Amino acid sequence: MDIQRISSTQNTRIKHLMALQQKTQLRRSEQRIVVEGARELQHCINAGFKVETVIFCPEIFDISILSNTKYKLLEVTPQVYEKIAYRGSTEGVMAIVEPRQLALTEIKLEDNPLIVVLEGVEKPGNIGAVLRSADAAQATAVIVCDPLTDLYNPNLIRSSIGAIFTVPCVACTSDECIRFLKDNNINILTAQLQDSEPYYNTPMQGATAIVMGTEATGLTNVWREAATAHIRIPMQGQLDSLNVSVSSAILLFEAVRQRLT
């Protein structure tokens, strides 16, 4: 294997790697993202993403796991890896990868698709956690409407533990998503407190989209008016909402339960 070695944190390639991690505009303009962690990188490779360069620290990561690859390899010292690692606890490997920007028309709709829709959710960690639940429930796709964060934000990739690569994820406007769902006869279930039924009383066996908003503002009227049904998670305590990722997991697995019974 042809391996280049870098021992300085001031190396131009190291500085560029750090800029890719930190700057959304640079990721978009260069169409490159940074994937950190052995599991995340493996999911990325398994999903067929194009890996350009693998950066590794031999004191932490055994590069033989990636032997006989066509990737460019950069070996760095522990000091350099500590500098570039996004995570607090490092795994010794990361990669520069070409991202995919999926369109709604590329979502493969099989019998009774199950889709999660997030409107205006800003925190990358929440989207990442929703993707993990979507993977566990074998959801068809996650659609992020009117996104306020980069789908390949390093924190989103980290919190999803690679589910961003295993679950089709699309960014679009709410109007585009509503049109797509209605054109494909997918029931729209909006999670909201007002004028709603307990989620377990609502059929989810057929083609279903579960639509979630933010904890602070909920869903906009465009979604409430487009809905087939309004659903809620009954709250027994004094608070009136759950984290969006927790709510998504509850509703996803209710759909799974209904489809298995």
Which CATH number fits the domain that encloses residue 81? 3.30.1330.30
Single residue among 28, 63, 98 that ends a domain in this structure: 98
* CATH value at residue 256: 3.40.1280.10
What does the pLDDT read at residue 62?
87
249 and 164 in one domain?
yes
Same domain? For 129 and 216 the reply is yes
Q: Which of 80, 98, 116 is the last residue of a domain?
A: 98
Instruction: Count how many domains the chain has.
Output: 2
pLDDT digits (tens, 9 = 90+) for 159-205: 999 999 999 999 999 999 999 999 999 999 999 988 899 999 999 99
- What is the residue-averaged pLDDT of the chain? 92
Q: Are 96 and 32 spatial neighbours (Cβ–Cβ below 8 Å)?
A: yes
Residue ending a domain, choose from 64, 98, 132:
98
Q: Indicate if 130 and 165 belong to the same structural domain.
A: yes
153 and 138 share one domain: yes
**Residue 7: domain span:** 3-98
253 has pLDDT over 70: yes
In a shared domain, residues 13 and 87? yes
135 plus 247 within the same structural domain? yes
Rounded to two decimals, the pTM is 0.92
One domain, residues 78 and 32: yes
